[in-house]
């Protein structure tokens, strides 16, 4: 059972720690009196400062319209404690249901955007659309992360990594090679 | 010790199985009589068909010029057997050394591009530049995968996922929730 996590601020230039390993994420959105959650696996960090994240949001998703119109979203990081919720969110449509209610996820007020944070996630990154020039051709949104909330522990959360076909790889052992890095590469 | 892996073809529309989980990859390039290898952690699948991958290649990399001029590369998937090579490749410059020789990686001839495959990697994806419109603004390259070579086993390779600071998360347990997916979502 997943419970709300208490979070602290992380400098937005450091979100690569959580997104570069490639986890599936839950993207929340809001526009007018509608809100929604979608799963997303196609995303990449693009820059440290400004803190940019590029991602694909397919046009068929109810969230696509909410995000394109509001120009905002929150990228939330679930762990294996939320596996069933991740699968449920990915296999339902926000046209028909309120996914917060259906999957017992707790919306929290964000600081800079109207889209809600998901309290049970390990981290939440508030995003504003920075560049929409590739939306019409590729459904590719470039967001700037304007605020990052992260649970203090564990340091390496057990994230979910989607491989297709209903199968997830989960985060395994952590290994450090820090001593082999040139300082400029850290 | 990593050894060359025998590989078979994978339909290019299925490469998400390997890239969506977010592994660090080794990108090979060639132009004129130069060749190089770089590590890359900032990439995302963008489309199934055509098979598109977007990625950031920083302008300071020697590979940046080789790839921009040749409009080609190969995205190779290393596993934990190649951890030291991944770290070495990421902490050296192709201006000074030949990384294939230095790190004892075996170049193999690709089918559609001049950049070599790395024989010791679990998979290699031959890529042609599909859209360079965001290179100058973000160093963002959109490639089309034109050929995919994958080792037959293991089905779920132990990939490396970079978190920054010289620390990698490695692929852990695999869990299936296939029975909870709507057929259209698989």
φ, ψ of residue A147 in degrees (nearest 5): -160, 135
- Give me the residue from B44, B176, B177 closest to A54, CB to CB: B44
Q: Where residue B92 falls among pLDDT bands split at 50, 70, 90?
A: very high
| pLDDT tens string A154-177 | 999 999 999 999 999 999 999 999
Q: Which residues of chain A lie closer than 8 angstroms to B159, CB-CB?
A: 169
Any bridge partners for residue A28, and if so which?
Answer: A37, A74
Q: Which domains occur in chain B, in start order?
A: 7-185 (2.30.110.10)
A54 touches chain B (CB under 8 A): yes
Q: Where residue A141 falls among pLDDT bands split at 50, 70, 90?
A: very high
- Report whether pLDDT(B53) > 70: yes
Instruction: Please report the number of interchain residue pairs, chain A to chain B, with beta-carbon separation below 8 angstroms.
Output: 186
> Region A14-35: what's the mean pLDDT?
98
C-alpha span between A170 and A167 (Å, rounded): 10
**What's the pLDDT score for residue B110?**
98
What ipTM did this prediction achieve? Answer: 0.96
Q: Which residues of chain B lie closer than 8 angstroms to A170, CB-CB?
A: 172-175
Q: Where residue B8 falls among pLDDT bands split at 50, 70, 90?
A: very high
Q: Which residues of chain A lie closer than 8 angstroms to B170, CB-CB?
A: 172-175
A154 touches chain B (CB under 8 A): no
**What's the pLDDT score for residue B1?**
61
| Residue A55 · residue A143 · CB < 8 Å | yes
The answer to whether the CB atoms of B156 and A163 lie below 8 A apart is yes
Average pLDDT, chain B: 96
Which residues, including other chains, have CB under 8 Å from residue B101's CB and lie 6 or more apart? none
Report A:77-106 residues touching B (Cβ under 8 A).
80, 83-84, 87-88, 90-91
> Region B122-141: what's the mean pLDDT?
98
**What's the pLDDT score for residue B138?**
98
Measured between CA atoms, the residue of chain A closest to residue B53 is A42
**What's the pLDDT score for residue B186?**
79
| A34 Cα distance to chain centroid | 19
**What's the pLDDT score for residue B99?**
97
- Report whether pLDDT(A67) > 90: yes
Q: Which residues of chain A lie closer than 8 angstroms to B177, CB-CB?
A: 83-84, 87, 166-168
Q: Which residues of chain B lie closer than 8 angstroms to A52, CB-CB?
A: 138
**What's the pLDDT score for residue A165?**
96
> Region B66-85: what's the mean pLDDT?
98
Q: For residue B116, give the DSSP letter.
A: P
- Give me the residue from B42, B46, B84 closest to A138, CB to CB: B46
**What's the pLDDT score for residue B176?**
97
- Report whether pLDDT(B102) > 80: yes
Q: Where residue A1 falls among pLDDT bands split at 50, 70, 90?
A: low
**What's the pLDDT score for residue B172?**
98
Q: Which residues of chain A lie closer than 8 angstroms to B175, CB-CB?
A: 80, 83, 167-168, 170
Q: Where residue B87 falls among pLDDT bands split at 50, 70, 90?
A: very high
DSSP chain A: ------EEEE-GGGTHHHHTT---EEEEEEETTEEEEEEE--EEEEETTTTEEEEE--TTSHHHHHHHHH-EEEEEE-BGGGHHHHHHHHTS-TTT--HHHHTT--EE--SS-SSPEETTSSEEEEEEEEE-TTHHHH-EEEEEEEEEEEESS-SS--BEEE-STTEEEEEEEEEE-GGGS-GGG-
Measured between CA atoms, the residue of chain B closest to residue A135 is B46
């Amino acid at each position: 059972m997943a419970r709300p996590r208490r979070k602290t601020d992380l400098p937005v230039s450091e979100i690569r720690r959580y997104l570069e390993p490639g986890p599936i994420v839950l993207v929340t959105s809001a526009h007018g009196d509608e809100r929604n959650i979608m799963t997303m696996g196609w995303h990449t960090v693009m820059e440290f400062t400004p803190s940019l994240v590029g991602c694909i949001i397919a046009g068929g998703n109810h969230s696509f319209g909410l995000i394109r119109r509001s120009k905002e979203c929150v990228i939330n990081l679930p762990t294996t404690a939320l596996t069933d919720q991740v699968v449920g969110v990915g296999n339902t449509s926000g046209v028909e249901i309120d996914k917060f209610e259906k999957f017992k996820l707790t919306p929290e007020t964000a600081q800079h955007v109207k889209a809600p944070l998901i309290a049970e996630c390990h981290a939440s990154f508030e995003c504003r659309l920075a560049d929409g020039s590739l939306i019409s051709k590729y459904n590719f949104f470039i967001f700037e992360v304007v605020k990052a909330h992260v649970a203090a522990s564990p340091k390496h959360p057990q994230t979910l990594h989607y491989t297709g076909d209903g199968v997830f790889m989960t985060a395994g052992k952590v290994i450090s090679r820090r001593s082999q890095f040139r300082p400029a590469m850290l």
